[in-house]
């Protein structure tokens, strides 16, 4: 149905373009280099025959696949993002193609001894005999979410080439800056005009998700006083040492490396420090709203407690909510999850319905009036040098998109 070579070629044409986003930028897209892929996608959507292809001043791409029937059918959407994570380099991506994977270690980089091993990444064993696309050990791959884009474009092209398949109006959107939590901030839901949508932004084949973390960022600033160390007694205040007090006072086992499923966490992801000033950057995550609010209060109370010890104003904290659990917006519209589940089952794909330990554009869009569960894009080990994607998973994801379009028409 979807030729492997065509999927590979399309995917490689996307990942070779560096689209890393930048959380410190105030523009949208947050990096100029995202425009290169954005304009390529606009040209491609036009060339395959989609209608109403637009790109706005902030890099949001939208297009229409017209209905092939006059039957009243809900307008559905499919969404993916074209930026990649700022956490790991995406410059000069040079993918490797592993055909007929044999279940053994994959040497990504001989010189640096970087090995993708099933003894550590056990999910690899699911894909013996399949074709894998990996990194060369120097960059991330960008399957998050260029695999999703590949799948949506491939499915749209297939539906254009097969007008005998009855489906309603389908809307497509590609967004910038999802990786820095801003992918939906300037998304025009009214212009998009879909009744509901699906993000193609999950991981392994079968994933179907309508729950995600509630999320916030927290920046803790510790102010010290620098004095010549030879004359520092009772004068010098070392902000880096005070930061140790803050870090060690949070629950040590409530961190990403010690939690799973619906367990929340505090994640310290950046430290910048000197005697006079240290900055700690955290993300706060929890599926339960009550626990999420409690985590924020724990950090605020800890700042207050340490200020009593070291002096008012020594520690400051800023907390900003990023997104919320879309479950409360999806549950009143569970038929859209049911359709996706039926689509997978009809294709002999076992649905893996579980909460996302992260977020997608869909979590924000759901609160903006566009219910938007998440479907697998097929990749694994996102945001790093061990990232890979099975080509067969991308093929299946495209099939799921086509089947959702068919079932939506049949069930309407």
CA distance 173 to 179: 16
Q: Is 343 helix (H, G, I), strand (E, B) or coil?
A: helix
Helix (H) or strand (E) holding 282: strand 277-286
* Catalytic annotation, pick one of 18, 144, 178, 207: 178
- Name, in order, each residue with C-beta under 8 angstroms of 70's C-beta and a sequence gap of 6 or more: none
CA distance 194 to 172: 9
Burial 95-115 (b: 16+ CB within 10 A, else e): bbebeebeeeebebeeeeebe
Strand order in the sheet with 214-223: 265-273, 277-286, 214-223, 315-323
- Name, in order, each residue with C-beta under 8 angstroms of 55's C-beta and a sequence gap of 6 or more: 38, 39, 42, 61, 62
Helix (H) or strand (E) holding 119: none
* Catalytic annotation, pick one of 18, 22, 44, 83: 83
Q: How many CB atoms lie within 10 A of CB 353?
A: 15
Q: Is 328 helix (H, G, I), strand (E, B) or coil?
A: helix
178 in active site: yes
How much is the CA Rg of the chain, to the nearest whole Å? 23
Helix (H) or strand (E) holding 97: strand 96-98
CB distance 379 to 389 below 8 Å: yes
Catalytic residues: 83, 178
């Amino acid at each position: 149905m979807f030729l492997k070579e065509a999927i590979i070629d399309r995917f490689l044409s996307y990942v070779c373009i560096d689209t890393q986003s930048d959380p410190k930028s105030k523009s949208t897209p947050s990096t100029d280099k995202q425009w290169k892929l954005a304009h390529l996608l606009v040209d491609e959507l036009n060339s395959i025959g989609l209608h109403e292809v637009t790109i706005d001043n902030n890099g949001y791409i939208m297009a229409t696949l017209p209905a092939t029937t006059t039957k009243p059918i809900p307008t559905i959407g499919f969404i993916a993002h074209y930026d990649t994570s700022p956490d790991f380099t995406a410059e000069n991506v040079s993918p490797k193609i592993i055909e007929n994977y044999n279940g053994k270690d994959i040497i990504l980089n001989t010189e640096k001894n970087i090995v993708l091993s099933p003894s550590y990444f056990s999910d690899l064993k699911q894909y013996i005999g399949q074709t894998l696309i990996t990194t060369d050990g120097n960059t991330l791959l960008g399957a998050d979410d260029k695999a999703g884009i590949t799948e949506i474009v491939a499915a749209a092209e297939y539906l254009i080439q097969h007008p005998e398949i009855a489906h309603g109006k389908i809307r497509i959107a590609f967004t910038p800056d999802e990786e820095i939590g801003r992918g939906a901030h300037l998304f025009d839901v009214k212009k998009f005009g879909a009744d509901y949508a699906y993000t193609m932004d999950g991981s392994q084949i079968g994933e179907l998700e309508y729950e995600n973390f509630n999320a916030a960022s927290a920046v803790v600033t510790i102010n010290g006083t620098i004095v010549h160390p030879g004359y520092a007694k009772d004068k010098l205040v070392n902000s880096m040492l005070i930061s140790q007090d803050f870090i060690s006072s949070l629950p040590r086992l409530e961190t990403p490396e010690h939690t799973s499923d619906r367990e929340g966490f505090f994640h310290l992801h950046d430290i910048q420090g000197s005697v006079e000033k240290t900055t700690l950057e955290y993300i706060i995550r929890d599926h339960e709203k009550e626990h999420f609010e409690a985590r924020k209060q724990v950090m605020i109370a800890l700042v207050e407690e340490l200020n009593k010890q070291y002096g008012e104003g020594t520690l400051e904290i800023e907390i900003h909510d990023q997104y919320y659990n879309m479950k409360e917006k999806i549950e009143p519209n569970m038929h859209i999850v049911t359709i996706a589940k039926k689509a997978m089952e009809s294709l002999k794909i076992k649905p893996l319905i579980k909460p996302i330990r992260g977020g997608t554009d869909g979590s924000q869009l759901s609160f903006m009036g566009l219910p938007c569960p998440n479907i697998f894009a097929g990749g694994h080990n996102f945001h790093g040098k061990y990232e890979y994607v099975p080509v067969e998973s991308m093929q299946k994801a495209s099939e799921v998109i086509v089947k959702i379009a068919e079932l939506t028409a049949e069930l309407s």
